[in-house]
Structure 1
Amino acid sequence: MCITNCTKQLMLHVITGVGGYSYLYEPLWWVGMITMVVGEVANFVAYAFAPAILVTPLGALSIIISAVLAHVMLREKLHIFGILGCVLCVVGSTTIVLHAPQERQIESVTEVWGLATEPAFMCYVGVVLAIVALLVFKFVPLYGQTHVMVYIGVCSLVGSISVMSVKALGIALKLTFSGTNQLIYPQTWAFSMVVISCIITQMNYLNKALDTFNTAVVSPIYYTMFTSLTILASVIMFKDWDRQNPTQIVTEMCGVVTIFSGTFLLHKTKDMADGTTFFLFLRW
């Protein structure tokens, strides 16, 4: 994922902001896609062994490494604000790791299916699908090229469901490899279909957002919305907070907010140089 983010920055110098599918003709886009797939495989494994409320916010570490790689490979200057943003991401990530809930012990994919079909999570899925349909069929044609929140809203909402499905599928494969075959259950294949559908939709609209708007705007907004909705979905489906006390929950949220702050600071000031822009940033 870290290499992917760096490659994506390079890719955006080549692709023009037309909001269509021109990126499919760019070799650099395919290089970025391949590296992202490799990163997502590692992410997939992580979701099988740890709570989503822990894994998803730690994606901020890729922002730090891609910033360092951009400094080394793309000669982008990492100034004091960038360093401070990286420090905030590290502090927030450490806070979450130290107070994250224990992974719930699940014995079969049918147990995950039971969690996914409980009324609370089904209501969440229904609300998400309704909002996504409204965005895609009404707001994308009218405001997709002018309002960044339209594309990012679709990506983030669909992404929260895809993470839950990825975690379910990862658990199924983990149990299968450990000797308890889960491939015989139709629920495993149902989760697989949801994962494929969600990822295709997510990647389509994320690329439209990156192709239309500045990556410095897209990245922090998408990361914040995606992480927030994923945590919400995980709390509803896997009941992560049922096994924690209020102090642990508040501490985790403080860690998430710290990561968000570092991410926005890093992207907001990525093109700033030292000197007079320091005072401009303070005035902003």
Structure 2
Amino acid sequence: MITMILGEVANFAAYAFAPAVLVTPLGALSIIFSAVLAHFVLKEKLHMFGVVGCILCVVGSVGIVLHAPKEREIDSIDEIWHLATEPGFIVYSCVAVVSVLFLIFWVAERSGHRKMLVYIAICSTMGSLTVISVKAVAIALKLSFGGSNQFIYIQTWFFIVVVIVCCLVQLNYLNKALDSFNTAVVSPVYYVMFTILTIFANMIMYKDSFSRNATQIATQLCGFVTIVAGTFLLHKTRDMGNEPPLPDDEICLDGGSVRPDRLSQSSS
């Protein structure tokens, strides 16, 4: 639990020094470390497809890092507020909030327990707003530690409230998705949708994609697709090679096992 908290603090700090387009996709690296540690610590066999999935995640991450956009210099929370109140991002925020409310109060009540994408769409849409707000708070903290107190502005506290509300909504519906559907399917789908919407929201607000050429954008997209493929392969085949437990009807009292057809033959 301590290491998990430290990891989230480090992830929060990363948004203060790097663009969200770079930080968010690299979250797939945690899947690699989990798979490798499970192989050595938990004795869960990492089969050939798992190794290929890890390699794909590493290759995709390297491509994203090498072609990541330069971080935009932010000097105050007022500058972030100005970017957040431009027409493009206001339209995106309104569409996102209306879509989430529609999904929560109309769609989720009727078919959320049967359609996985309903819960994941809620989590991913709110997640894109969470990342934007987290980045604003992280930059405010960085500037405050640098000597320019940003917590005297109401805008900073507004972003903090948005972070809290969005995180609560995300946790609630992510737990519902995990309770209702297979984790091996929920995790990669949520990662893909969350990352796409986060990158899209970041592009609208910070407009960092306009400073890059077509080759850089295409390379970063290829890196992201490679990570998605590796993540999906890891999750889809993570139980391959691990022997399933014997059914109850094949377990004997002495610890051995016997097939049901042999039981019928011996009884006859």
- Shared fold (TM-score, shorter chain, > 0.5): yes
Which structure is larger by alpha-carbon Rg, 1 or 2?
Answer: 2
Distance 1:271 1:176 in 2: 47
The answer as to 2:156 corresponding to 1:188 is yes
For structure 1, the residue ranges without an aligned partner over 5 or more in a row are 1-30, 275-284
Give the Å deviation of 1:88.
Answer: 0.3
Q: Which residue of 1 aligns with 2:84?
A: 116
Q: Which residue of 2 aligns with 1:13?
A: none
The answer as to 2:39 corresponding to 1:71 is yes
**What per-residue deviation string (whole Å, max 9, x for no partner) do you get for residues 63-110 of structure 1?**
101111222333322101011000000000000000101100010001
Equivalent residues in 2 for 1:127-146 (5 A)? 127-146=95-114
Q: Which residue of 1 aligns with 2:52?
A: 84
The answer as to 2:248 corresponding to 1:273 is no
Q: Which residue of 1 aligns with 2:248?
A: none
Give the Å deviation of 1:133.
Answer: 0.8
Paired amino acid for 2:152: I
SS at match of 1:262: helix
Equivalent residues in 2 for 1:130-209 (5 A)? 130-209=98-177
Q: Which residue of 1 aligns with 2:71?
A: 103
Residue among 240, 246, 262 paired with 2:214:
246
Distance 1:73 1:215 in 2: 21
Give the Å deviation of 1:36.
Answer: 4.1
**What per-residue deviation string (whole Å, max 9, x for no partner) do you get for residues 7-64 of structure 1?**
xxxxxxxxxxxxxxxxxxxxxxxx5xx6544322111100000000000000010010
**What per-residue deviation string (whole Å, max 9, x for no partner) do you get for residues 148-171 of structure 1?**
111111110000000000000100
Equivalent residues in 2 for 1:222-241 (5 A)? 222-241=190-209
Distance 1:204 1:72 in 2: 33
CA RMSD after TM alignment = 1.3
- What TM-score do the two structures reach when normalised by structure 2? 0.87
Distance 1:38 1:238 in 2: 28
Percent identity, aligned pairs only, is: 63
Distance 1:196 1:153 in 2: 19
Distance 1:155 1:35, change over 3 A: farther
Distance 2:8 2:208 in 1: 23
Q: Which residue of 1 aligns with 2:251?
A: none
Q: Which residue of 2 aligns with 1:55?
A: 23
Give the Å deviation of 1:116.
Answer: 0.6
Distance 2:6 2:186 in 1: 22
Q: Please identify, of 223-232 and 263-272, the stretch whose mean Cα deviation from structure 2 is larger.
A: 263-272
**What per-residue deviation string (whole Å, max 9, x for no partner) do you get for residues 231-267 of structure 1?**
0010000111122111111111111011011111111
Distance 1:36 1:225 in 2: 23
The answer as to 2:180 corresponding to 1:212 is yes
**What per-residue deviation string (whole Å, max 9, x for no partner) do you get for residues 203-258 of structure 1?**
11111111221110111000000001000010000111122111111111111011
Q: Which residue of 1 aligns with 2:231?
A: 263
SS at match of 2:99: helix
Q: Please identify, of 218-227 and 66-75, the stretch whose mean Cα deviation from structure 2 is larger.
A: 66-75
Give the Å deviation of 1:174.
Answer: 0.3
